[in-house]
Amino acid sequence: MDSKLDLTFTRIVDAPKEAIWRCWTEPKLLLPWFCPLPWKTIACEIDLRPGGIFSSTMQSPEGVTMPTGTGCILEVVPNQRFTWTSALLPDYRPSLTLEKCGGQDGGFMFTATIALEDCKTENGTGTRYTATVLHADEAGCKQHASMGFEAGWGAALDQMVAMIKKGI
């Protein structure tokens, strides 16, 4: 917590935490209370896992549907702690486009995953190494590609494998 950047409130409520957890994580139980009346929540999607969707659609008192707020779930500790963010879309895709990030070189947002699997090689058993980077839009993806994503990450991997062979 940073008091200049963050907001928080604490309440002691007369309800068990298991019931409150269900009201936050089961769409049918979220719809009735999630918006202060006379606003309504008319749709909700929850995939209760880190990386899963947390999204809701609201309706104004005049009946106007508001654009869905779609976020990504980050922490799921049943009956204790639930965290999500609007900075990411489901499966950790960044939500901010290159234009909104400023547009200059390297201004794009990305989420990177390194995945490792055992596999057979000429010398016995090695690794299938997969590097994946997600972007918010095509512009960010193209900028990253033009900066030499595969050549750069591949050259670094070659350096790593050479280092491992020397002994770590």
Pick the binder of a copy of itself from 38, 62, 64, 164 (CB under 8 A). Answer: 164
Residue partners of 133: CB distance under 8 A and separation at least 6 = 110, 111, 112, 113, 144, 149
Q: Which is nearer to a copy of itself, 45 or 93 (CB)?
A: 93
Q: What is the dihedral of CA 147, 162, 129, 72, to 10 degrees?
A: -60
Pick the binder of a copy of itself from 17, 43, 60, 65 (CB under 8 A). Answer: 17
In the complex, the smallest distance separating the C-beta of residue 63 from a copy of itself, rounded to whole angstroms, is: 20
Window 58-117: residues binding a copy of itself (CB under 8 A): 74-75, 79-88, 92-96, 100-102, 109-117
Q: Which residue pairs, CB below 8 angstroms and at least 24 apart, start in 155-161?
A: 157/129, 157/131
Q: Which is nearer to a copy of itself, 2 or 62 (CB)?
A: 2
Pick the binder of a copy of itself from 6, 61, 63, 104 (CB under 8 A). Answer: 6
Q: CA 23 to CA 132: how far, in whole Å?
A: 35
In the complex, the smallest distance separating the C-beta of residue 117 from a copy of itself, rounded to whole angstroms, is: 7
Q: Which is nearer to a copy of itself, 63 or 67 (CB)?
A: 67
Q: Contact letters (x/-) for a copy of itself, 141-160, by CB under 8 A?
A: x--xx---xxxxxxxxx-xx
Q: How many residues bind a copy of itself (CB under 8 A)?
A: 100
Window 124-143: residues binding a copy of itself (CB under 8 A): 125-138, 140-141
Among 67, 17, 78, which Cα is nearest to 43's? Answer: 67
Instruction: For residue 61, give the amino acid letter.
Output: P
Q: CA 150 to CA 137: how far, in whole Å?
A: 18
10 Å CB burial of residue 143 (0-12, 13-18, 19+) is: buried
Q: Which is nearer to a copy of itself, 62 or 118 (CB)?
A: 118
